[in-house]
Amino acid sequence: KAGVTQTPRYLIKTRGQQVTLSCSPISGHRSVSWYQQTPGQGLQFLFEYFSETQRNKGNFPGRFSGRQFSNSRSEMNVSTLELGDSALYLCASSRAAQSTDTQYFGPGTRLTVL
Amino acid sequence: EDQVTQSPEALRLQEGESSSLNCSYTVSGLRGLFWYRQDPGKGPEFLFTLYSAGEEKEKERLKATLTKKESFLHITAPKPEDSATYLCAVRSGNTPLVFGKGTRLSVIA
């Protein structure tokens, strides 16, 4: 069974630009969560989607947005990029959005903002 | 607010030297505690899920245990390939998964 896939794997952008990251969950999984990982802050929660509905949102500015499509694939967008947005962005999928469900992570997208 | 604290931050072991990693948590109504392993530049790899105090799970050289306040990840006779960052996360109710900062393990041959 294929795992969670994320594209692109690496991105280099400049300040002020915007970026869109994509995530395809494990087949049959309907919930997708996004996290930002930096050396100083660790893994921080961004969003959680289930059946195209946002169930939870982390404490990030409105420049960070996301959505989920009917096939469970998800995208996140960051507008007006800042240097501090440089991070590893991780997507995780689970069967449903139950709090007991295990989340399985993709390889991540490494975003560098210059 | 759910909180997770992992200790130590870093651990250096000789090959074959067993040890334990600690994950202390504060949640209102634990629904699940999750252990992951993360190699540099890669996404976290799922290891274990524990649901209630007293539960234990094993996989090769790893054993995870859970009490009402903390979880331990015991590593028996580690090998260099066990070197990685080990992450602990908790979830309560419908709140998001909350991660600790991780323990960076180095196993020296």
- pLDDT for residue A72: 96
Residue with tokens 């040890």: B19
What would the pLDDT profile of B9-55 be if each residue is shown by its tens digit? 999 999 999 999 999 999 988 999 999 999 999 999 999 999 999 99
Backbone angles phi, psi at B40, to 5 degrees: -55, 130
What pLDDT is attached to residue B10? 98
Give yes or no for a contact between A19 and A81, defined as CB atoms under 8 angstroms apart.
Answer: yes
Residue-wise pLDDT for A1-13, tens only, equals 789 999 999 999 9
CA atoms within 13 A on the CB side of B59: 11
Q: Do B87 and A110 touch (CB under 8 A)?
A: no
Name the percent of chain A lying above pLDDT 90: 89
SS3 call for A84: helix
The distance from CA A69 to its chain's CA centroid, rounded to whole angstroms, is: 14
Mean predicted confidence (pLDDT) in B54-67 = 97
CA distances from residue A92 to A96, B46, B105, B106 in whole angstroms, order as listed? 12, 11, 23, 26
Determine the pLDDT at residue A30. 95
Residue (of B34, B94, B102) closest to A48 by Cα position:
B94
Which residue on chain B is closest to A111 by alpha carbon? Answer: B41
Contact B49 A102 (CB under 8 A): yes
